[in-house]
């Protein structure tokens, strides 16, 4: 009986390996990992319905901004399209059971990404999709911001006018093990090592009930395995840390900066090789940090920048504000990241663009490395951070200078960067060559 069971298990394993039509014995291809903050989390109670309507449109009825977003993803001016794509700033709807609706994501794939947005572009198809459940807009009966009221969008696990306002979507050409994905929606802020109850902007301590109820993640943190054609697995570590009150620039508030720091401390502990993440417990009750026996790629919008100057630029939609860079530096210095020796984060392999440098000259920032910007705020907010055992072939940010191919998706007729054309952030990518090793 034991031999029969073992034989069936081996047969199932072989069938699973052969089910991928691109399977081969030794995969030596290059995979482009990209993340793009698409501003598809609309800041009103009807936001998801708006997104459903927009993503359902076809042909000439398509929303021009969403079409531009799709065109940016489809473009091959930077040699190839993404193979693994994380879209942050994407709305969903979350049921009481915590399940995220993927209708808008599916429609965006079918009606926008799969359809060439110009004659010189090619549609893009992903065979696998994962839509993260999110804490944003999940109401909690505590006065989170201390304004004496109990109401959305502030009094929630994460800022949101509805449950699901801010989430992220993973699209992949390679199989994803969604059933075994680890999620961290429920892990409490107060349980992160070194965390302390914050002071609110009114000078008072946060309500004790709110402090005990708040999860550390205002959206989610997901660890999901991706299977290469030869059967090897890569862990994809995904998140989006958000500006929870964008109309008030609230992340400049002390307590929200403190939460962002705790979120980054959480991530740093999760990928640490010093067993710093042993105390972490996922939503299924499994304890511990990342599985460090296999390489990973950390992707997402971390809403922080390692530049010690830490000041954004003033824009028509946001004032200059300060970012606390100490927590992001802990993440970037981790010994399991390729950049722990500073090489990936400072030299030509760091995702960068000439468009960001041109933008820096127009706004006069003193950022120490403006070519790595991927936000109109004058910051590097989106990251694709590979494991040290992965070989990086190339990297970049899609931010063409004025007059270069694709600039019309980013600049208005006056030559000014215009977020209403696509997004206030730029797609960031890294190519991993699986035929080589560091």
**Is a pLDDT exceeding 60 seen at residue 356?**
yes
**Is a pLDDT exceeding 90 seen at residue 185?**
yes
**Is a pLDDT exceeding 50 seen at residue 268?**
yes
361 found inside a domain: yes
226 found inside a domain: yes
| Per-residue pLDDT tens digits for 207-231 | 999 999 999 999 999 999 999 999 9
| Per-residue pLDDT tens digits for 127-164 | 999 999 999 999 999 999 999 999 999 999 999 999 99
270 found inside a domain: yes
What pLDDT was estimated at residue 14?
A: 42
Which domain CATH number covers 423? 3.60.10.10
Question: How confident is residue 11, by pLDDT bands cut at 50, 70 and 90?
Answer: very low
What pLDDT was estimated at residue 317?
A: 62
**Taking the model in full, what pTM does it have?**
0.91
Please compute the mean of the pLDDT values over residues 192-198 and round it to a whole number. 95
Q: What SS3 string covers the chain? A: CHHHHHHHHHHHHHHHHHCCCCCCCCCCCEEEEEEEEEEECCCCCCHHHHHHHHHHCCHHHCCHHHHHHHHHHHCCCCCCCCCEEEEEEECCCECCCCCECCHHHHHHHHHHHCCCCCCCCCCCCCCEEEECCCCECCECCCCCCCCCCCCCCCCECECCCCCCCCEEEEEECCEECHHHCEECCCCEHHHCCCCCCCECCCCCECCHHHHHHCECCCCCEEEEEEECCCCCEEEEEEEECCCCCHHHCHHHCHHHHHHHHHHHHHHHHHCCCCCCCCCCECCCCCECCCCCCCCEEEEEECCCCCCCCCECCCECCECCCECCCHHHHHHHCCCCEHHHHCHHHHCCCCCCCHHHHHHHHHHCCCCCCHHHCCECCCECCEEEEEECCEEEEEEEECCCCCCCCCHHHCECCCCCECHHHCCCECCEEEEEEEEEEC
Query: 308: which 2 tokens?
Result: 């010690």
**Is a pLDDT exceeding 60 seen at residue 177?**
yes
326 found inside a domain: yes
Q: Report the number of distinct structural domains present in the chain.
A: 1
Domain span at residue 129 reads 28-437
4 found inside a domain: no
Please compute the mean of the pLDDT values over residues 337-363 and round it to a whole number. 74
What pLDDT was estimated at residue 349?
A: 78
366 found inside a domain: yes
DSSP-assigned beta bridge partners for residue 36: 87
Question: How confident is residue 41, by pLDDT bands cut at 50, 70 and 90?
Answer: very high
> What's the CA gap between 370 and 361, in Å, rounded?
9
Please compute the mean of the pLDDT values over residues 190-198 and round it to a whole number. 95
Average pLDDT, the chain: 88
101 found inside a domain: yes
106 found inside a domain: yes
Please compute the mean of the pLDDT values over residues 276-291 and round it to a whole number. 97
């Amino acid at each position: 009986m034991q031999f029969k069971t073992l034989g069936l298990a081996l047969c199932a394993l072989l069938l699973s390996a052969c089910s991928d039509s691109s399977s081969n014995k030794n995969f030596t291809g290059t995979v482009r990992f990209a993340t793009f903050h698409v501003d598809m989390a609309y800041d009103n109670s009807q936001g998801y319905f708006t997104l459903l309507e927009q993503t359902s449109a076809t042909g000439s009825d398509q929303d021009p901004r969403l079409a531009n977003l799709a065109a940016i993803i489809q473009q091959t001016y930077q040699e190839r399209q993404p193979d693994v794509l994380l879209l942050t700033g994407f709305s969903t709807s979350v049921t009481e059971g915590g399940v995220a609706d993927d209708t808008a994501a599916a429609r965006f794939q079918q009606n926008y990404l799969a359809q060439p947005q110009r004659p010189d572009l090619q549609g893009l198809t992903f065979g696998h999709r994962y839509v993260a459940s999110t804490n944003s807009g999940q109401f909690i009966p505590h006065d989170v911001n201390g304004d004496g009221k109990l109401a959305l969008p502030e009094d929630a696990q994460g800022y949101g006018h509805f449950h699901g306002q801010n989430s992220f979507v993973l699209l992949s050409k390679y199989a994803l093990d969604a059933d075994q994905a680890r999620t961290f929606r429920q892990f409490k802020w107060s349980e992160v090592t070194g965390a302390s109850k914050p002071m609110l902007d009114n000078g008072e301590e946060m309500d004790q009930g709110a402090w005990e109820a708040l999860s550390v993640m205002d959206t989610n943190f997901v660890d999901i395995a991706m299977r290469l054609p030869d059967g090897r697995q890569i862990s994809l570590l995904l998140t989006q840390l958000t500006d929870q009150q964008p109309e008030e620039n609230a992340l400049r508030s002390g307590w929200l900066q403190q939460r962002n720091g705790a979120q980054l401390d959480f991530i740093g502990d999760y990928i640490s090789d010093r067993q710093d993440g042993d105390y972490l417990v996922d939503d299924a009750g499994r304890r511990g940090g990342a599985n460090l026996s296999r390489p990973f790629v950390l992707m997402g919008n971390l809403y922080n920048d390692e530049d010690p100057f830490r000041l954004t630029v003033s824009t028509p939609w946001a004032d200059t504000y300060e970012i606390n860079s100490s927590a992001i530096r802990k993440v970037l210095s981790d010994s399991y990241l390729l950049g722990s020796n500073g090489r990936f984060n400072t030299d030509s392999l760091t995702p960068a663009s000439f468009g960001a440098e041109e933008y820096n000259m127009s706004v006069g920032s003193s950022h120490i490395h403006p070519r790595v910007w991927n936000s109109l705020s004058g910051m590097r907010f989106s990251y694709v951070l590979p494991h040290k055992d992965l070989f990086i072939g190339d990297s970049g940010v899609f931010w063409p200078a004025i007059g270069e191919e694709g600039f019309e998706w980013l600049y208005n007729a006056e030559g000014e960067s215009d977020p209403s054309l696509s997004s206030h952030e730029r797609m960031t990518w890294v190519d991993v060559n699986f035929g080589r090793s560091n």
